[in-house]
Amino acid sequence: MGATLEKIYTIVTEKGGYDARMNLAQKTGIPRTKASEMEDTPEVINRFKTAADEILGMDIDQFM
């Protein structure tokens, strides 16, 4: 469970560093540890992708 959310966290960390990862946790309200345990629902994935796009200033779909 949470494989897609975990992947988004990995992309944000690789492209933006630790601060970007912390920003993703703040914007989504879900820390990485909890994200890996959650179900990958379309609503949550969309929320994570939108936040990641804003943080990195690019569409992360190209890295998925």
| pLDDT value for 51 | 98
Instruction: Determine, yes or no, domain membership for 31.
Output: yes
- pTM for the model: 0.93
Residue range of the domain that includes 14: 3-59
List pLDDT tens digits, range 7-54.
999 999 999 999 999 999 999 999 999 999 999 999 999 999 999 999
Give pLDDT, residue 23: 98
Maximum distance among all alpha carbons in the chain? 27
Provide the number of structural domains found in the chain: 1
Is a pLDDT exceeding 90 seen at residue 2? Answer: no
Q: What is the pLDDT of residue 38?
A: 93
Q: Determine the pLDDT at residue 1.
A: 66
Is residue 64 a part of any domain in this protein?
no
b/e code 24-36 from CB counts within 10 Å (16+ = b): bbeebebebeebe
